[in-house]
Amino acid sequence: MRVNLDLSTLYIYNNLNRSKNFREIYYKLAENYLSEICGNELCMQNKINLSIQLPKDDSSLLPIHTDVWSGNSPFEVVFWMPLVNCYKTKSMFIMTPEMNNFYFNNIKKFNSAEKIFTHSKKNLKWLNIKYGQGLIFTQNILHGNVVNLEKSTRWSFNCRFKSVFSPYGNKKIGEFFMPIKLKPATIFGINYEEPKIKK
């Protein structure tokens, strides 16, 4: 069953991301918020991720983490959009900024995801997001999920956005990111070529 689910997810993911308008439609859902948070010249993850988490499925977990520790730019944000009501273990958790700072400042003591999660269980913020709502969050804050112990499956999309001119991590523009909104002056600058003077 796991193999079939993986193949089904991959099939849906590939077909959605082949659609010419999918990236633009997804961006438009949060355009005003993304402009306010990141600026009005943005690049967007090349492909939008699809996550399907069946009840009691322990093969699709993201233990507590921050994406920056694995090479992402701290200037990125994630737009997470569930396709169902998400609550309790069917949702995701994030760390409060205060507790996030505590674990960052004590990383030598809590030097593994397991230690951080065990110590922080009571301080985690479980998100209650209804169908039709979405979440934009900084991946600099510790977050993750656990086994879905609710009775129904979680379907969700997620995609990263950042300012075109903010620093990049391991995931570069033209590879992982593609521009989604540029101003005319930026387009002129990108396309500018110095005159070729023959010697």
Q: What is the pLDDT of residues 45-72, one digit of tens each?
A: 999 999 999 999 888 788 899 999 999 9
Distance CA 90, CA 54 (A): 9
Query: Three-state SS string across 38-58, please?
Result: HCCCEEEECCCEEEEECCCCC
Q: Are 63 and 144 in contact (CB under 8 A)?
A: yes
Domains and CATH numbers, the chain: 2-191 (2.60.120.620)
* Residue 114 DSSP symbol: H
Identify which of 135, 70, 74, 126 has the alpha carbon closest to the alpha carbon of residue 96: 126
Q: Are 54 and 150 in contact (CB under 8 A)?
A: no
Q: Is the pLDDT of residue 7 over 50?
A: yes
Q: What is the pLDDT of residues 152-169, one digit of tens each?
A: 999 999 999 999 999 999
Q: What is the pLDDT of residues 75-97, one digit of tens each?
A: 999 999 999 999 999 999 999 99
Distance CA 38, CA 48 (A): 18
